[in-house]
Amino acid sequence: MLSTAEALATLLSAATPITGTESIPTLEALNRVLSADVISLLDVPPMNTSSMDGYAIRTEDLTTADGNRRLLISQRIPAGHAPEPLKPGTAARIFTGATVPRGADAIVMQEQTETDGNEVTLLHSPAPGEWITAQGADIRNGSIILPAGTRLTPQALGLAASVGCAELQVRRRVKVAVFFTGDELTMPGEPLKPGAIYNSNRFTLRGLLENLGCEVTDYGIVPDKLDATRTTLREAAQAHDLILTCGGVSVGEEDHVKPAVEAEGRLSMWQIAMKPGKPLAFGAVRRSAQQTDKDADAAASAETFFIGLPGNPVSSFATFLLFVRPFVLLLAGMRTVAPRVLSLRADFAQKKADRRNEFLRARVNAAGGLDLFPNQSSAVLTSTVWGDGLIDNPPNHAISVGETVRFIPFSELLN
């Protein structure tokens, strides 16, 4: 069996970023991936500004022999207004974010002053530069503020807007086709016949893909027939970057995904030394010549990637997070796809070690340690809602109370 690290490395080595790009309004770019660097064409702030409500002064006026600290208020400067140069021996009433007048080199905040009519007495001797935010202190003209491959968070959109970017160049969305096989699968709202189960994986996997910003085509539940499976694969391959299925890739008489993919393309079946989620299929389905002629991304490859996940709900959830998520993010053009891993204390004991790499559902307790969900079966979807993330427990390792373990938060894996 492959280790999780070997399987992930093999999978990710095949991922090539899509080439299609588009220019979209910055307000509509949340969670999209930049296809080009965002370069600032101005300094931020574009001028020296006051970081306090107070008075702009010339510090040299406070070093005269008479030591006068009572100054005439020569002007009032709200934010957004252009000030006059500061006259020697005077102070300017100024507000947070306002432009510092030429000649002023410090701000005395209003709590350190006393006013009397049009005069102000300074109760503090500021150092040059005090409470002034210098031009370009945040961003310098010509600097790269967001590199290509950045997934655009709300704060990244704000940063782009701060340098005047009304539009951003982004890669198009990754197009993913999903379908599910199994005559036992029933949709919620339909009568549950004997031997049938509700198709929870359809909801989980679609949600995970949409959360990554994918453009998802859902082919629903495909009948357990070889011809129907091959037809769906051929159709899905024509306009998508990835085909994702759940179940049906084993060698049973009713498992038609494996022979269908092999007939329409190529397939590698992997046994991964992990729990849950041992089986994983990876390959590709051929595209038609007509499609590759009209689509730029298709022309770069005559195949659409295929990943087949195991059918148990926790197994499909875990393998998606650990394998499909980084694969999709690389297709989308992101440069960094590995989740951050935390080192946290185990407040439980796992006395029985497993020969496989275990991914245990756990959550952070009030004391900052980890509690383990009591039932780690791959069929218990409750554990994925109860938990905050996965403990990455190496093979043949029993966990003792108080030891430090590797914890991958769902907040990282769902980002």
The domain ranges of the chain are: 4-19+173-331, 23-42+145-171, 49-133, 342-413
Confidence at residue 415, expressed as pLDDT on a 0 to 100 scale: 82
Q: Which pLDDT tens digits describe the chain residue by residue (415 residues)?
A: 899 999 999 999 999 999 999 999 999 999 999 999 999 999 999 999 999 999 999 999 887 545 568 999 999 999 999 999 999 999 999 999 999 999 999 999 999 999 999 999 999 999 999 999 999 999 999 999 999 999 999 999 999 999 999 999 999 999 999 998 877 888 888 888 888 888 899 999 999 999 999 999 999 988 888 999 999 999 999 999 999 998 866 555 457 888 999 999 999 988 999 999 988 999 999 998 765 545 555 545 799 999 999 989 999 999 999 999 999 999 999 989 999 999 999 999 999 999 999 999 999 999 999 999 999 999 999 999 999 999 999 999 999 999 999 999 999 999 8
Residue type, 274: M
Check: CB of residue 333 under 8 Å from CB of residue 171: yes
Between β-strands 404-409 and 389-393, what pairing exists: parallel, antiparallel or unpaired? Answer: antiparallel
Between β-strands 49-50 and 132-133, what pairing exists: parallel, antiparallel or unpaired? Answer: antiparallel
Which CATH code is given to the segment(s) 49-133? 2.170.190.11
Helices (DSSP H) in 301-393: which residue ranges? 313-319, 325-331, 382-386
Query: Per the structure block, which two tokens stand in for 350?
Result: 């796992």
Quick one: fold of 23-42+145-171?
Molybdopterin biosynthesis moea protein, domain 2 (3.90.105)
CATH superfamily of 342-413: MoeA, C-terminal, domain IV (2.40.340.10)
> Any idea how long the chain is?
415
Which CATH code is given to the segment(s) 4-19+173-331? 3.40.980.10
- Give CA–CA dist 364/69, Å, rounded: 57
Eight-state DSSP code of residue 333: T
Query: Per the structure block, which two tokens stand in for 308?
Result: 């087949």
DSSP string, 151-195: B--HHHHHHHHHTT-SEEEEEPPPEEEEEEE-TTEE-TTS---TT
